[in-house]
């Protein structure tokens, strides 16, 4: 066999479907013949009841085999088709779930983005966490819980408990009042004495009656050790106030002191020790009750006022002209019945005219530091008799660069009326010492110490409320609105004020003019600065 013939035999030969079926039948026939020969060899004497199969039986057997193969092939095709359909449905279902998941994720991302935008422009609303006070957190409970009471319904004494008539803290331990104890003891002693006299037939002598009255009065009286709290401090006279009452009074108005030789604060204008003319002017100005800072500051200034004939000479300095004019307006109200002349020295007016008013005589000068130092340098004014100095918004004046002028004004005053540096040294009650006031909503410690170190002796620091925090009298609201909603919201707030006045702060002059014109068209009376 040459190489070409071997290559021809190795090449695959294409067979048609009919040829493949004939080969399969032929192969099946050969297998059947081999099986038949094997069965004949294993059974050499077959019985007569099993005749050899005929040609019809063989053809029938071949047809049944072909039908079975066709059915198997059809079943395989159906199974493959069902498997493909299931795979296709499973894949489509997986794609649908994945699409829904991606859409849900995208929707969640859009919501997060929208929330971030709202939080940036409108602010976030954080839930307020309730802060439990230490007094409530660590409060000791003196009572048992009802669930721990195992004696109820078993003892008749616990079914009808006796309610003790305590005085709820109006006295010493266990709610017992010392005065009630004194009165009860005096009553028992009197009843026992009367019973003895009645039994012996002895009449009461005048001396014994007088002694009994003294005991009754002693039982009615309190001393500071009794912790008198039967009335509120507002219902007591000034002389009846105890240390506990003054402490409660200072806590009610958030008044705190730092220093020595601190007088009692005044509770009302009547207790202020001011002259009747000045009290009349205060009432005319419409001040019904003093503010907390007035309660604490006025008694400090009245500690050593003895010489009323000359009148107190005072200098009030403010950082701006507008504030100085406002202070002058209020001071004129108080000086209405006192005959005190008030002069303001501010920029924007003729300094010669202001100097002429000072030379005519005045008791109170209200000025800005720059203009006042000009008057002192030109000899329009002297401060040899100035005993009272008031620095309003002292930290603001220092920040605006007026510290050299303030120092120059203070140096122009006589140093002979300073208080002694030693706190323990007794003060001369007939002598008027210089009193310096520094008022500010926010007093930085550096400014306070720098001025106090040189010009104050034994300073007293009065703090109303908490430093750096708005007072309780001020209510603050922050409203986040769009630019287009600002004007309607402002008009609504102004309508809610009814007859009250309001100040609107705006960033630029252009915006202030626009808002002013808009409010004027809406019927409001507006003035812009």
Which of 80, 71, 65 minimizes the C-alpha distance to 21? Answer: 65
Q: CA-to-CA distance for 449 and 403, rounded, in angstroms? A: 13
Q: CA-to-CA distance for 197 and 205, rounded, in angstroms? A: 11
Q: CA-to-CA distance for 373 and 380, rounded, in angstroms? A: 10
Question: Which pLDDT value is given to residue 306?
Answer: 42
CB neighbour class for 511 (10 Å; exposed up to 12, middle 13-18, buried from 19): exposed
Rg (CA), the chain: 54
Which of 386, 388, 452, 458 minimizes the C-alpha distance to 426? Answer: 458
The tokens for 98 are 């994945």
Question: Which pLDDT value is given to residue 104?
Answer: 92
Q: CA-to-CA distance for 219 and 181, rounded, in angstroms? A: 8
Beta strands at 461-464 and 255-258: parallel, antiparallel or unpaired: antiparallel
The tokens for 64 are 């049944």
Q: CA-to-CA distance for 16 and 371, rounded, in angstroms? A: 125
Q: CA-to-CA distance for 384 and 310, rounded, in angstroms? A: 13
What's the CA dihedral at 197, 203, 207, 208 to 10 degrees? 20
3-state secondary structure 433-451: CCEEEEECCCCCHHHHHHH
In sign, the C-alpha dihedral spanning 384, 389, 392, 397 is: positive
Residues 49-75, buried b or exposed e (16+ Cβ, 10 A)?
eeeeeeeeeeeeeeeeeeeeeeeeeee
Name which CATH class applies to 241-464: alpha beta
Q: CA-to-CA distance for 192 and 198, rounded, in angstroms? A: 10
pLDDT tens across the length of the chain (529 residues): 555 555 555 566 677 778 888 888 888 888 888 888 887 776 655 444 455 555 565 666 667 777 778 888 888 888 888 888 888 899 999 999 999 999 999 999 999 998 888 888 877 777 777 788 887 777 777 777 666 666 555 666 666 665 555 544 444 445 556 667 667 777 778 888 888 888 887 777 778 778 777 777 765 665 544 444 567 787 888 888 888 888 888 888 888 877 767 788 888 888 887 878 888 888 888 888 888 888 888 887 776 544 433 334 788 999 888 999 999 988 888 887 777 888 888 888 888 888 888 888 888 899 998 888 888 888 888 887 888 888 888 878 878 888 888 888 888 887 766 665 555 566 666 666 778 888 877 766 666 666 666 667 777 777 777 766 666 777 888 889 898 889 999 988 888 887 788 899 998 888 899 999 999 998 888 988 8
**C-beta of residue 412 within 8 angstroms of C-beta of residue 389:** no
**C-beta of residue 267 within 8 angstroms of C-beta of residue 249:** yes
What residues contact 242, with CB distance under 8 A and at least 6 apart?
224, 227, 228
Does an H or E element contain 386, and which? none
Q: CA-to-CA distance for 460 and 260, rounded, in angstroms? A: 7
**C-beta of residue 299 within 8 angstroms of C-beta of residue 264:** yes
- 359-363 long-range contacts (CB < 8 A, ≥24 apart) are 363/311, 363/312, 363/313, 363/314, 363/335
% helix, strand, coil for the chain, step of 5: 55, 5, 40
Q: Delimit the domains of the chain by residue range.
A: 167-226, 241-464, 483-521
Residue 35: alpha-carbon gap to chain centroid: 104
The residue length of the chain stands at 529
Which of 430, 438, 432, 431 minimizes the C-alpha distance to 456? Answer: 438
Which of 352, 393, 398 minimizes the C-alpha distance to 375? Answer: 352
Alpha helices in 221-365 (DSSP H): 243-252, 276-285, 292-301, 321-334, 351-359
In three-state secondary structure terms, 326 is helix
Question: Which pLDDT value is given to residue 169?
Answer: 46
């Amino acid at each position: 066999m040459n190489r070409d013939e071997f290559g021809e035999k190795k090449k695959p030969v294409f067979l048609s479907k009919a040829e493949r079926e004939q080969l399969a039948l032929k192969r099946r026939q050969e297998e059947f013949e081999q099986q038949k020969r094997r069965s004949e060899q294993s059974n050499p004497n077959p019985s007569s009841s099993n005749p050899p199969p005929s040609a019809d039986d063989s053809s029938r057997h071949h047809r049944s085999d072909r039908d079975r193969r066709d059915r198997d092939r059809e079943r395989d095709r159906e199974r493959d088709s069902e498997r493909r359909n299931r795979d296709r449905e499973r894949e489509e279902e997986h794609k649908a779930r994945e699409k829904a998941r991606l859409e849900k994720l995208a929707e969640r991302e859009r919501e997060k983005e929208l929330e971030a935008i709202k939080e940036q422009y409108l602010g976030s609303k954080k839930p307020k966490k309730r802060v439990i006070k230490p007094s409530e957190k660590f409060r000791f409970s003196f009572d048992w819980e009802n669930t721990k009471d195992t004696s109820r319904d078993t003892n008749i004494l616990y079914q009808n408990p006796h309610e003790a008539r305590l005085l709820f803290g109006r006295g010493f331990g266990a709610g017992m009042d010392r005065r009630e104890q004194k009165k009860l003891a005096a009553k028992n002693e009197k009843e026992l004495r009367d019973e003895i006299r009645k039994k012996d037939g002895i009449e009461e002598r005048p001396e014994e009656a007088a002694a009994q009255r003294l005991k009754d009065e002693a039982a009615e009286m309190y001393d500071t050790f009794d912790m008198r709290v039967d009335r509120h401090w507002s219902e007591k006279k000034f002389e009846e106030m105890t240390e506990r009452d003054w402490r409660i009074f200072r806590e009610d108005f958030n008044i705190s002191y730092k220093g020595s030789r601190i007088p009692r604060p005044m509770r009302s204008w009547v207790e202020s020790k001011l002259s009747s003319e000045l009290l009349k002017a205060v009432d005319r100005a419409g001040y019904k009750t003093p503010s907390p800072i007035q309660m604490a500051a006025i008694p400090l200034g009245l500690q050593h006022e003895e010489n009323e004939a000359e009148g107190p000479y005072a200098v009030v300095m403010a950082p701006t002209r507008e504030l100085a004019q406002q202070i002058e307006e209020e001071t004129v109200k108080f000086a209405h019945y006192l005959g005190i002349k008030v002069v303001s020295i501010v920029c924007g007016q003729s300094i010669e005219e202001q100097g002429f008013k000072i030379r005519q005589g005045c008791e109170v000068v209200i000025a800005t530091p720059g203009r006042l130092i000009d008057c002192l340098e030109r000899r329009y004014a002297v401060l040899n008799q100035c005993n009272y100095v008031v620095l309003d918004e002292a930290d603001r004046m220092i920040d605006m660069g007026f510290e050299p002028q303030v120092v120059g004004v203070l140096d122009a005053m006589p140093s002979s009326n300073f208080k002694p540096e030693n706190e323990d040294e007794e003060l001369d009650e007939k002598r008027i010492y210089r009193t310096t006031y520094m008022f500010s909503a926010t007093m930085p410690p550096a400014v306070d110490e720098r001025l106090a170190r040189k010009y104050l002796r034994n300073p007293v620091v009065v703090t109303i409320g908490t430093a750096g925090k708005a007072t309780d009298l001020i209510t603050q609201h922050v409203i986040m609105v769009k630019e287009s909603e600002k004007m309607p919201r402002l008009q609504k707030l102004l309508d809610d004020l009814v007859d009250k006045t309001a100040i609107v702060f705006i960033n630029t002059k252009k915006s202030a003019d626009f808002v002013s014109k808009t409010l004027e068209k809406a019927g409001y009376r507006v003035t812009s600065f």
